[in-house]
Amino acid sequence: MSFAVESHREPSGLCGEPNPEPPASVASTGREAPHHHHSLLEAFQSLLYVVVIALFILTFTVQPFRIPSESMEPTLLVGDFLLVDKQVGMEFPPRVFAPTSLIQRGDLVVFHYPVDPTLHLVKRVIGLPGDRVRLRSGHAYVNGAALNEPYASFRPTAADSYRDEFPRMDSADPSVDSRWWIEMRPLVTGGELTVPPESYFVLGDNRNDSEDSRYWGFVPRGNIVGKPFLIYFSLNSSQPTPGQSAANAMAGDSRPRSSGATGPLAGFARWERALHVIR
């Protein structure tokens, strides 16, 4: 740009007319070029900061997950997308937000599946280290007292003495991990299973259709990734869940649709579950 301006003023100089001062347009262009490059550099630095902060948050504080199975219904539905607070799974600083409270009985946790750590599961904590756990008719008892479980669902199904009367040591379900069957025996006293240190006993809210600690054992503290705290989006499941009417199949649960969405996008997602805080 400056070259074009200079060549435009050359004829007056060639004709002998003095031009002691640089043209105003040339001087102005000379000042703008560094400023333009400086603005680009600042924009790039700002973008870099945003990327670094986003990567830091995803790495150390929040991570998205999707629910693929029915084991946590009705709390979590197939197709729910969760944000998980990973600070509870951190064994070291730094912490971006206020420290997350310790894992408590009744908390939902995302963790590496002990049988295959490449997989992530989400279940509810029933037994803490040192707790004595048992199930009677599928309902959980901890340290001799029945838990208040408003989140639990007991869909009609065939009786299963191992599943419903856990721990049951005279027989095992075919899906029970053999290593867990051996590990569990010395931990059972008086019909109660004692949770060892740095471990947790977890169950699915869909109590009659969940492979959980009953079938493969405890969740080690080091396997826990974090606590889910928000459903930020929810895709509809194409298949109705057991006990669900055909009319409500597209809603993803047995309740009527609360969203007023209509048209082709109405069945695409469960809009009423978006930004839903998990309890």
CA angle 221, 120, 128 (to 5 degrees): 30
219-220 and 224-234 strand pairing: unpaired
Write b or e for each residue in 157-175: b if 16 or more Cβ atoms lie within 10 A of its Cβ, otherwise e: eeeeebbbebbbeeebeee
Q: Which residues are catalytic?
A: 71, 123
Q: Which three-class secondary structure state does DSSP give residue 235?
A: strand
Predicted pLDDT of residue 201: 98
Is residue 203 pLDDT above 80, yes or no?
Answer: yes
Evaluated on CA atoms 29, 31, 33, 36, the torsion sign reads negative
Which tens digits make up the pLDDT trace of 16-67? Answer: 344 444 444 434 344 455 666 777 777 666 676 666 555 555 555 677 889 9
Q: What is the mean predicted confidence (pLDDT) over 3-18? A: 36
> CA 261 to CA 270: how far, in whole Å?
10
Whole-number pLDDT of residue 128 = 97
The band of 140, judged by pLDDT with boundaries at 50, 70 and 90, is very high
Determine if the peptide bond prior to 74 is cis (ω within 30°).
yes
Average pLDDT, the chain: 76
Residue 112's pLDDT is 96
Question: What are the boundaries of each domain within the chain?
Answer: 1-7+24-60, 61-277
Question: What pLDDT is recorded for position 7?
Answer: 32
**pLDDT given at position 13:** 41
**Superfamily of domain 61-277, CATH level 4:** Umud Fragment, subunit A (2.10.109.10)
- Rounded mean pLDDT, 125-144: 97
Q: Which residue has the higher pLDDT, 124 or 35?
A: 124
- Which residues have C-beta within 8 Å of that of residue 275, sequence separation ≥ 6? 230, 231, 232
Question: CA-to-CA distance for 101 and 200, rounded, in angstroms?
Answer: 16
Mean pLDDT for 224-241 is 79
What confidence score (pLDDT) does residue 186 get?
95
Mean pLDDT over residues 206-233, rounded? 95
Q: How far is CA 183 from CA 16, 66, 188, 214, 255, in A?
A: 102, 31, 10, 12, 41
Please report the pLDDT score of residue 239 as a whole number.
Answer: 40
Residue 150 vs residue 239, higher pLDDT:
150
- Report whether pLDDT(75) > 90: yes
pLDDT in tens, 80-94: 999 998 886 444 444
| Nearest alpha carbon to residue 218 among 181, 180, 191 | 180
